[in-house]
Amino acid sequence: MALQAIAVGCEVDLREPQAGRVHSVFDRAVNLLVGGELWTVFGPDHPDSPFGLRLAAGGLATLRGLRAGDPVQVRAGRAGLGRQVIDGRAAARWAPKPWPTVAAGLAQRLDAVSEAARARAWPGSEPLANAVMQALVQALMQALPACGAGSGPGLAEAVRRTVGRGPGLTPAGDDVLVGILTLLSSSTAGEAGARATARLAEALAPRLRSTTDLSRHLILQAARGRPGGALQALGQALLGGATGDGLRAALEPVLATGATSGADACVGLVAACRLVFPAAERIAA
């Protein structure tokens, strides 16, 4: 009996024949490595994601007997996982909403999210986030013609101290980087964000093999503008002016991710916002 997918992320192609394997199995998610990308299968209450497959009620429990390394076969709208089959032919196709322009009051919204995230995040996350952003800004400034060539060792050192640092299946430092890249790669960050994303990705490249497979994929996906749906929705709510219940509704699914992972990503998102958008905030006000 096939398991029904009720939503399939915009980056998941179930039509093209391809082979993969089960990467990891957890109570609330199953990760698949297909075509060099990490796809995540989750239950009906989980936020959608560009690389996600959301199953109908009871479907995820059926997959808990899978083991890492079990084969995955994709074709004709279905994904075979060991002896199980996920049928995505009737599933809704999910894609994230466009990023908004910056609404007035961003500083206050950042303060609210920062306070909530700090209560749940790993204590070392905020210093790491601030160090990476400060080093990134310095590297970008030093790369300008008027400042001379080269970007110095500061960013490389900040990245070295962050990748793989802290607790968790995705170490807290890696979650911080996902949060930073989610904001930098957003359309609202514009050309400046694209340059910052490229520079940070360049600094990260030699370090990513030192952390976990799962973290590496999440960092690379965020750098390409394809972070998890809950984190992206929070960024859009922050920039777009959500307050009160609206902001809390966007924040809670992120904070509920892992022991500290979601909160650590929030810390990175806030740090990036504070340095990227101060001028835009003044204009909007």
At 64-104, the pLDDT tens digits run: 899 999 999 999 999 999 889 999 999 999 999 999 999 99
pLDDT (mean) for 143-154 = 56
pLDDT (mean) for 154-169 = 96
- What gap in Å lies between CA 222 and CA 34, rounded to an integer? 18
Q: Is the pLDDT of residue 275 over 60?
A: yes
Span 183-232, pLDDT tens digits: 999 999 999 999 999 999 999 999 999 999 999 999 999 999 999 999 99
pLDDT at 153: 66
Which of these, 238, 218, 220, lies nearest to 228 by C-alpha position?
Answer: 218
The count of other CB atoms within 10 Å of the CB of residue 206 is: 12
pTM: predicted TM-score of the whole model, two decimal places:
0.92
So where are the chain's domains? Answer: 3-94, 106-284
pLDDT at 283: 36
Q: Is the pLDDT of residue 284 over 50?
A: no
Could you tell me where the beta strands, DSSP code E, fall in the chain?
A: 3-9, 18-25, 30-34, 37-42, 52-55, 71-75, 78-81, 84-87, 92-94
Query: What integer best gives the mean pLDDT of the chain?
Result: 93
User: 125, 264 in Cβ contact below 8 A?
Assistant: yes
Which of these, 138, 237, 105, lies nearest to 183 by C-alpha position?
Answer: 237
